[in-house]
Homo-oligomer: A and B are copies of this chain.
Amino acid sequence: MTQVAPGGTIGILGGGQLGRMLAAAAHRLGLKVHIYCQDADEPALDVTPHRTLAAWDDEAALLAFANAVDVVTFEFENVPVATVEFLEKHRPVRPGSKALGVAQDRIKEKWLARDLKAMTANFAGVGSLEELLARIDQMGLPAILKTNRFGYDGKGQAKILERSDAEAAWAAMQNQPSILEGFVPFRSEVSVVAARGGDGAFVPFAVTENVHRNHILHTATAPARLSGDVAAEAADITRRIAEALDYVGVLAVEFFVLAFDGEDVLYVNEIAPRVHNSGHWTQDGAVTSQFEQHIRAVASWPLGSAAMTAPKAVMTNLIGDDVAAWASLAAEPGAHVHLYGKREARPGRKMGHVNRIG
């Protein structure tokens, strides 16, 4: 695989905080970063002079971007697959369009997991209210209806507790192809953030236990509390998914943990084809951060050690007005404050995070 030597340029599709933190990691390795995004106000644009502001379908801009960089990656899984396919004709894109296409489609994601002998919630595609009602009758309730594509942080989701909720739930999908998922009575949610290198090396970080509030990640704690060999099983499922997708880079697999007869059982929930919020603790609690690890993978450098540097790491997101506490957080001994430089603290917006290690 093409290796990007120091002095080379990583092209990143998307200008959010993940792009900003990827850029910082690339800079540390002597690499340049070129951000491709739409909005001049994106946080990653404050950390590099190299940028393209253009639409995802602007082929002239995409071609110039490809020519300005050595390798392309993305920090945002809603980049159109067609954009990545266009770029792949000109430069390596890591991970590639195959992984992106699967991760954008909840139904494909679940079929992949099942093909790999991993469990998922019950699910069924839904294209109309009539179909939704029929699926509810087959699957039972409670269940959750989600748009099949382009959802994040609980957007495009509706709970269905009773059959009479179906009409409002379907209306909320705005006629988009959707997926009905059977309710999973999980005791916890965990994720594996891991890297796969250009040479096929697979290096997982410690499994992280995630707590959500209002459908947004609130805290991520490593290592997760899991019985027996379940952490190793989570890492192994993640490896199988990465291999099936010919993946190069960092990915995250989110799992539900169910307590079954005193044993923990894993259900694959979602695959994120990028660095992930539940891996932010690695910035201060692992030998190599997920951001550096992703850059190493996409630049075809050897992967770094994913070992924890302390027995425990806790990441807490700063959502909306939480960031107003920055001064007291900065005064807390040992708290590592990370802020994204976003101008406006809107409700539900990720403004930063704090890592507490040890």
Contact = CB atoms under 8 A, between A and B. Distances in A.
Contact of A305 (B6, B20, B327, B333): B333
Most buried by B among A5, A46, A336, A341: A46
A326 B46 CA distance: 28
A228 interface: no
A339 B4 CA distance: 14
A302 interface: yes
A218 to B, nearest CB: 20
B330 A302 contact: yes
9 contacts: A6-B323, A24-B27, A27-B46, A28-B338, A46-B50, A287-B336, A301-B330, A302-B330, A309-B309
Nearest to A35: B49
A140 interface: no
A264 to B, nearest CB: 30
A105 B27 CA distance: 34
Interface in A31-75: 31-32, 45-51
Interface in A314-346: 323, 326-327, 330-331, 333-334, 336-341, 343
A141 to B, nearest CB: 44
A151 interface: no
A7 B287 contact: no
Interface residues of A, number: 44
B302 A341 contact: no
B337 A29 contact: yes
A304 B24 CA distance: 20
A336 B340 CA distance: 24
B51 A6 contact: no
A50 to B, nearest CB: 8
A340 B30 CA distance: 5
A20 B5 CA distance: 19
A352 interface: yes
A48 to B, nearest CB: 7
Most buried by B among A287, A338, A352: A287
Given A6-B341, A338-B28, A46 B49 contact: yes
Given A24-B28, A287-B334, A341 B7 contact: yes
A51 to B, nearest CB: 7
Contacts of A352: 6, 30
A196 interface: no
A296 interface: yes
A203 to B, nearest CB: 11
A30 B309 CA distance: 25
Interface in A288-315: 296, 301-302, 304-305, 307, 309-310
A302 to B, nearest CB: 4
A128 B265 CA distance: 84
Contacts of A307: 334
Pairs A-B, 8 closest by C-beta atoms: A30-B339, A302-B331, A49-B49, A30-B341, A6-B339, A27-B47, A301-B330, A305-B333
A200 B99 CA distance: 53
A211 to B, nearest CB: 24
A113 B49 CA distance: 42
Contacts of A338: 28-29
